[in-house]
Amino acid sequence: MPSKFEIIAEGYLGKDPIVEQTRNGKPSCKFTIACKTGKKEKEVTHWIFCTAYSYAVEQAKNFKKGDLVRVEGDPGCFTVIEEDGKPKALLAITTFRTYKIDWVKNEQAYEQSAQPQGGGFGSGQVSRPAPASFNPPPQQSGF
C-alpha cells in the first residue's frame, strides 16, 4: 500500500497573495499564514509559506490579508540565513486545497442546523458543533 504524508494548517494571512506564472505559463499563488502553537504564555507564532497551483489558485487568489484560511498539501522545508547570520528552517506547504474560513457563516449554518428540520432518522440532515472562538494573532508583518 502506498504511503502519503500531507499537512493541514489553519492560520491568518500575513499579506495579500501574489499570483504569478510558472515557467510553463501555469498560474501559481504564493502567500504566508501565521499559525499558533502552545498555550497562553508559551504560545508561539509560526509562519508557513504556501504555494498554490492548479485549481487551488482560484480560491487562494481571492484571499486578503488577515483572512483566516485552511490549507492542505504536501509539506516542505527550506533554510534562510537570518540577519544575525544564523540559519533558520522554515515550513512550506505546496497546497492542493485552500479554503477561506468564515466563522460568521459557519455559526449561522450551525444555528440553522440546530433547529428541528423534521424528517427524523435518515433525513440527510447533518449537524456539527459550532467552531470554537479563536483569537487572532497580534499584528505582525508577513513575509
Question: What total number of domains does the chain contain?
Answer: 1
Structural domain includes residue 65: yes
Distance between CA atoms of residues 60 and 108, nearest Å: 24
What is residue 5's predicted lDDT score, i.e. its pLDDT? 86
pLDDT digits (tens, 9 = 90+) for 73-128: 999 998 989 899 999 888 999 999 998 988 655 555 555 554 444 444 444 343 44
pLDDT band at 4 (very low <50, low <70, confident <90, very high): confident
131 located within any domain: no
The predicted model gives 2-30 an average pLDDT of 91
Is 49 among the domain residues?
Answer: yes
CA angle 143, 92, 18 (to 5 degrees): 50
Taken in order 94, 99, 100, 103, is the CA torsion positive or negative? Answer: negative
pTM to 2 decimal places: 0.67
Q: Is the pLDDT of residue 40 over 60?
A: yes
**pLDDT score of 139:** 46
User: Is 30 within the bounds of a domain?
Assistant: yes
Please give the Cα distance from 81 to 72 (Å, whole number).
27
Closest of 73, 132, 65 to residue 103, by C-alpha: 132
CATH of the domain at 72: 2.40.50.140
Q: Is the pLDDT of residue 17 over 60?
A: yes
